[in-house]
Amino acid sequence: MSISRAFLEYFETEFFQGKPEEFEAFQKSLLRPLKKTLRINSERVNPTEFKNKRSAEGWTLSPTENALAFRVDREDTATALWSTLEHLLGDFYVQELSASMSVWHLAEGGTGPYRKWGDSFLMLDMASSPGGKTTQLLEHFPNSFVVANEFAKERISSLIENVERMGTSDRTGITNMNGVLFGALPETFDRVLLDAPCSGEGIGFKAEESLKYWNVKNVKTIARLQEKLFVAGLSALKTGGEMLYSTCTLNRFENEGVLENVASAFPGTFETVFQKKFWPHAEGAGGFFVAKIKKAAPLPENEKIFRRSKNDGLSKISDRDADRIREALENLGTPDFGEKTHHFYRYRNDVIAVRKVNGVPELADACYFLKFGERIGRLEEGKFEANWSLGKNRDLRNVAKLLLRDEKELHRYLSGFETELVADSRDSTGPIPNGEKVVAAPSNHANLAQIVYRDRFLGLERIKNGKITNSFPKEWRRK
């Protein structure tokens, strides 16, 4: 693959004058594929236990600067990484190291060990697909809510899939807007992440055009868009709040230049807390740039270009329906999930649960969400009926468990097949017909079963004619 002469001349002049050996190493690093990395989801699994179990299965997880991100090698690759049970359940996210570092620096400031924060934040991820950064934000800030915006409509489906797979639906609202429009929601968010659209120099090994056709004119055009997005994010950020600006580029126009131009246009509105450029030949990762800023003063009032678009069909649950939902959840056995922790909405007949965070109800009126919170069931003729998702993300203590006995049964379930209840001579006093795979629970939910494999919840299913239905999402199923 060729690299634009304009690119080589610019970088040699700006960064590598008198350093021919380092410049050659830099060029080679741009074209060298990176080793696959994954980020462990510590909300789902204990990182130490995850590493120990995977090591026993022939995985080699090599540590990186991010305490939860590891370079991965596997002895057995018969099952694709994305098709493993652990991936489907959201135990980890396949994510390049550079992509994981933006959130890490927003949460940690580049120093100190990994830790979770107890703060309840309203956050904005301005360019969020495919969802790695959004779900990572909620891992660092588990009591928070993220507005995950993506401008490209064709990328929305992957964002929704990953938010649901990683178990963060109830803390996420997904929008499909030009990020510049968020500037008309001033002083709204506690944290803002702008991993900006860029020329992609740092990931040239998988985006050949970024290096082959690189020229200063195009780069400057992209930088102007980045400045507009930066100003919008800064406006939407509360005074005293923090914003992380990052790119997978290395030139000055899209990085230092954006900070300098915005600071010049709006003097005194922010201070740069942390700034670093990561060179691929030095870091062994994709090239990228991060800058963490703190807002010091409000921006001048923007023209109100943000047009409110009504969420047709979305409404707060009525008192009567709230009572029905509360009673149903108590009967299912979810003591830690209810009105104390969540707002409940109704979208047509769907029941939606949204984590209680200050400012979220107001956003429901100000933004049009393609997806808002987690769908946990439906209201049909005044009765609440729980769905598959409710049983994936929570222990339903009053629902019988159906234990998948081996990898073969697991594979059939993950592939979308129904599961038969096999009767045998063992006694069972539970609501499900006798069967060696059933663990009964004190319940009157005779038509329900929570699918379990090795102490992991796979979802809530229904029993029909001696078979367990299969509601495992089609987009996650094994082929």
Residue found by looking up tokens 């010091």 in the block = 296
Q: Which of 417, 436, 439 is nearest to 426 (CA)?
A: 436
CB 173 within 8 A of CB 371: yes
pLDDT of residue 438: 54
- Give dist(CA 111, CA 191) in Å, integer: 18
**Could you give the CA distance from residue 463 to residue 420 in angstroms, rounded to a whole number?**
9
pLDDT tens readout for residues 434-477: 344 555 555 567 789 999 998 899 999 998 887 889 999 998 99
Pair of tokens at residue 317: 């649950």
Q: Is 248 a catalytic residue?
A: yes
- pLDDT reported for residue 335: 76
What is the C-alpha to C-alpha distance for residues 333 and 349, in angstroms, rounded to an integer?
22
Q: Which residue ranges make up each domain of the chain? A: 314-390, 395-476
Backbone angles phi, psi at 466, to 5 degrees: 80, 10
The per-residue pLDDT for range 129-153, each reduced to its tens digit, is 999 999 999 998 999 999 999 999 9
CATH number of 314-390: 3.10.450.720
The string over 364-373, giving b where at least 16 C-beta atoms fall within 10 Å of a residue's C-beta and e elsewhere, is beebbbbbbb
By CB atoms closer than 10 A (0-12, 13-18, 19+), residue 326 is middle
- Name residues whose C-beta falls within 8 Å of residue 448's C-beta, 6 or more positions apart in sequence: 386, 396, 399, 400, 460, 461, 462, 463
List 192, 234, 248, 329, catalytic entry: 248
CA dist., res. 463 & res. 76, Å (int)? 36
As given in the structure block, the two tokens for residue 461 are: 């299913």
In order of 73, 75, 279, the CA distances from 80 in angstroms are: 12, 12, 30
Q: What is the pLDDT of residue 338?
A: 84
Residue 58: beta bridge partners? none
Nearest one of 341, 355, 351 to 380, comparing CA atoms: 351
Does the predicted TM-score (pTM) go above 0.75? yes
Cα 284 from Cα 69, distance rounded (Å): 14
Question: Can you read off the two tokens belonging to residue 273?
Answer: 């807390």
Q: Using DSSP bridges, classify how beta strands 122-125 and 189-195 pair: parallel, antiparallel or unpaired.
A: parallel
Closest CA to 167 of 286, 41, 257, 59: 41
pLDDT tens for the chain, 479 residues: list them.
689 999 999 999 999 999 999 999 999 998 888 888 999 999 999 999 999 999 999 999 999 888 899 999 998 888 889 889 999 999 999 998 888 888 888 887 544 444 555 678 999 999 999 999 999 999 989 999 999 999 999 999 999 999 999 999 999 999 999 999 999 899 999 999 999 999 999 887 777 788 989 999 999 999 999 999 999 999 999 999 999 999 999 999 999 999 999 999 999 999 999 999 999 998 888 899 999 999 999 998 765 444 555 677 788 899 999 999 999 999 999 978 888 899 999 998 999 999 999 999 988 888 889 999 999 999 988 899 999 999 999 999 999 888 888 888 899 999 999 887 654 323 333 333 434 455 555 556 778 999 999 889 999 999 888 788 999 999 899 87
Start-to-end C-alpha separation, the chain = 33
